[in-house]
Amino acid sequence: MTDGGPAPGLIWIVGPGRVGLSLGVALHRAGAALAFSGRGGAIPNHPLLEGDPPAARWRGGSFAAPAGLSGIVVAVPDRAVREVAGRLASADIDRSVPVVHTSGALGMEALESLRAAGHPVGGVHPLAAVADTVDGADRLRGAAFGVEGEGLARALAERVVAACGGVALPIRGGGKPLYHAAAVFASNYAVALLAVAERLMEAAGVDAEDARPALAALAEGAVANVRALGPAAALTGPVARGDDETVRLHRARLSAGVRPLYSLLGREALALAERAGLDPAAVDRVRAALGDETP
């Protein structure tokens, strides 16, 4: 299903949290019939589950298949995915019903008990930060999703992506840890690098509150250039210019804690500069200036 239109059959979302309910909002807007279950207890306070009748069915902690079921989305915390998969695998659910999970770190092996029972299994991981159960649907609009699985599982994942107006990024079998590490580099480690940059600015005498927007704007420009040109053409700065003197000056002033990080990233940057056509003599000079220590 890639046309974004309503698909037949009900989708059961296990895990009425930030991702589960936000995907539910998107699927409801796309015309899907929905049921939710969780650990039991009180009905979550959410517009999809309010009203008479509510837009989505609430099933408490039940693992019995709802009528008209066409797919299951497991949106529980990573630590609970295997346990929920095991409970679904031993429940009385038609084996042709596909099951996908929304974890970024876990691969399809987390749904092994379901696969062994005969269910098509897969994954649909939003590359987005979802902090709220209602507004999260806006975060998901147009987002990229890492998708895994074949046949009916892929079709279910793509139905979810289409409901969000998103883009599917198919992941090769066994590739999930690398896909997730890529997301960590692009998001979490970009934040960590900006924190290092802020500390250096403060050490140079600039207030953090002035440094922060200036560095964020610099980073945003670099990211926009990567998006438009690719990393090799987007690289600027001393390594891209082959300016080994500046690299030596930086290294001489950096603390012993930060210097290895500077050099490690400098070597990644140098590979890009080489790809962009930096002349071999300058590449050698910059490589020497970066030193050979590792963190």
Cis ω on the peptide bond leading into residue 177 (within 30° of 0)?
Answer: no
- Contacting ligand NAP (CB under 6 A), which of 115, 125, 180, 251? 125
Query: Binding of ligand NAP at residue 129 (CB under 6 A)?
Result: yes
Size of the site for ligand NAP (CB under 6 A): 23
Q: Which is nearer to ligand NAP, 145 or 262 (CB)?
A: 145
Rounded distance between C-alpha atoms, residue 262 and residue 189, angstroms: 14
Q: Give min distance, CB of 216 to ligand NAP, in A.
A: 21
Q: Which residue is nearest to ligand NAP (CB)?
A: 17
- The Cα 38–Cα 45 span in angstroms is 13
Distance from C-alpha of 127 to C-alpha of 161, rounded to nearest angstrom: 11
Spatial distance between the Cα atoms of 268 and 286, rounded to a whole number of angstroms: 12
Smallest separation, CB 71 to ligand NAP (Å): 16
Identify which of residues 11 and 290 has a Cβ nearer to ligand NAP in the complex: 11
Distance of closest approach, residue 45 Cβ to ligand NAP, in angstroms = 12
Nearest to 51 by CA among 28, 19, 20: 28
Largest CA distance in the chain: 74
Task: Select from 1, 25, 73, 75 the one that contacts ligand NAP (CB under 6 A).
Answer: 75
Site string (84-113) toward ligand NAP, x via CB under 6 A:
x-----------------xxx---------
Kindly state the helix (H) or strand (E) to which residue 203 belongs, with its residue range: helix 190-203
Q: Does 169 bind ligand NAP (CB under 6 A)?
A: no
- The least CB distance from residue 224 to ligand NAP, in Å, is 23
In the set 1, 10, 76, 163, which binds ligand NAP (CB under 6 A)? 76
Q: Which residues share a beta bridge with 285?
A: none
266 touches ligand NAP by CB under 6 A: no
Q: Binding marks (x or -) toward ligand NAP, 4..33, rule CB under 6 A? A: ----------xxxxxxx-------------
Among 39, 11, 43, 14, residue whose Cα is nearest residue 26: 11
- State the DSSP H helix or E strand holding residue 285, giving kind and residue range, or none if neither: helix 280-290
Task: For residue 171, state whether it binds ligand NAP (rule: CB under 6 A).
Answer: no
The residues that touch ligand NAP, with contacts defined as CB under 6 A, are 14-20, 38-39, 75-78, 80, 83-84, 102-104, 125-126, 129-130
